[in-house]
Amino acid sequence: METKPYKILLVEDDTSLGYLLTEYLRMKGMEVLWAKTTAEVLPLLEQKVFDLLILDVMMPDTDGFTLGGQIRERHPSVPFLFLTARSMKIDVLKGFSVGAVDYLKKPIDEEELVVRIETLLSRLSSKSEPPSDGLQSLGRFQYDPQNQCLRLDGDEIALTSRESELLSYLLRHRNRLCTHADILKRIWGRNDYFNRKSLNVFVTRLRKLLEADDSLRIENVHGQGFILRVPG
């Protein structure tokens, strides 16, 4: 099966470096969007899906650490790393404290950057993938994403494709906030008013299906998103 290219958002105000990294990563088969200001980033995250963000710290409008904190708050499932000339220990620690998955110091070798990206995304992907047989335990239920159904006490509950997609996403991120924007971009392909209404309908359906196990619940975090609470 053909592997989809990684989607990267590069945030870098240095024109020469931004161009160099964009072209090099594209040459390595990645899809790269280059933003030259931090003001572009949050609107882009509302509309597009990225596998990884590469953030410069020293930006002219808002520093990368502040941006990283905003990303972690609004889009907690989106990984980002810092690429910066600031190499003091206090800067590195601050980078990780705001949620970065890596901190790379300039000047960076382009080949090393590619290896870091592939290693990081491979590791993050393997953590979120379901078991190889497809069956997943969900409280008293067994969830079978391949056949789009839940099983409980010998009974089988059929799911629609959209219900199954949504349950899979929430289960991969169990006990963590899944923002409206991230869910809509990943599953519906677009974050807008009408799709958000549709999302609420499907969450209500899943809640009703999971009622048989009172240890499971889908919490609504007002104005932000949903959390699938799973014990253990």
Report the CATH number at residue 140: 1.10.10.10
Clarify whether residues 179 and 147 are in a common domain.
yes
Euclidean distance between CA atoms 182 and 56, whole angstroms: 23
How distant, in Å, are the alpha carbons of 58, 137, 204 from that of 141? 49, 6, 18
Where does the pLDDT of residue 217 fall: very low under 50, low under 70, confident under 90, or very high at 90 and above? very high
The region, left, alpha or beta by phi > 0 then psi within -120 to 50, assigned to residue 32 is beta
Whether 1 is covered by a domain: the verdict is no
Clarify whether residues 159 and 225 are in a common domain.
yes
What is the pLDDT, as a whole number, of residue 186? 82
Whether 21 is covered by a domain: the verdict is yes
Euclidean distance between CA atoms 143 and 156, whole angstroms: 10
Clarify whether residues 121 and 148 are in a common domain.
no
Q: What is the residue-averaged pLDDT of the chain? A: 87
Euclidean distance between CA atoms 3 and 166, whole angstroms: 22
Tell me the per-residue pLDDT of 140-152, one tens digit each, with 9 for 90 and over.
999 998 888 999 9
Cβ count within 10 A of residue 64: 27
Euclidean distance between CA atoms 41 and 43, whole angstroms: 6
Q: Is the pLDDT of residue 204 over 90?
A: yes
Euclidean distance between CA atoms 94 and 4, whole angstroms: 33
Whether 2 is covered by a domain: the verdict is no
Residue 58's contacts (CB-CB under 8 Å, 6 or more residues apart) are 64, 84, 85, 86
What is the pLDDT, as a whole number, of residue 132? 43
Euclidean distance between CA atoms 132 and 143, whole angstroms: 13
How distant, in Å, are the alpha carbons of 4, 8, 28, 197, 218 from that of 31? 10, 6, 9, 31, 34
Q: Which domain holds residue 148?
A: 136-229
Residue 54 or residue 94, greater confidence: 54
Clarify whether residues 85 and 13 are in a common domain.
yes
How distant, in Å, are the alpha carbons of 54, 68, 95, 115, 127 from that of 101? 10, 11, 9, 14, 14
Domain endpoint, select from 83, 112, 128: 128
Number of structural domains the chain divides into? 2
Domain endpoint, select from 128, 157, 175: 128
Clarify whether residues 110 and 162 are in a common domain.
no
Q: Considering the chain, what percentage of its residues have pLDDT values greater than 90? A: 49
What is the pLDDT, as a whole number, of residue 3? 62
What is the pLDDT, as a whole number, of residue 91? 84
Whether 34 is covered by a domain: the verdict is yes
Clarify whether residues 11 and 85 are in a common domain.
yes
**CB under 8 Å, gap of 24 or more: what pairs does 88-97 form?**
91/57, 94/65, 95/57, 95/65, 95/68
Clarify whether residues 116 and 24 are in a common domain.
yes
Whether 141 is covered by a domain: the verdict is yes
What is the pLDDT, as a whole number, of residue 126? 54
Q: Hey, which residues does 34 pair with through a beta bridge?
A: 10
Hey, what are 108's tokens? 């960076």
Clarify whether residues 63 and 140 are in a common domain.
no
Domain endpoint, select from 111, 128, 145: 128
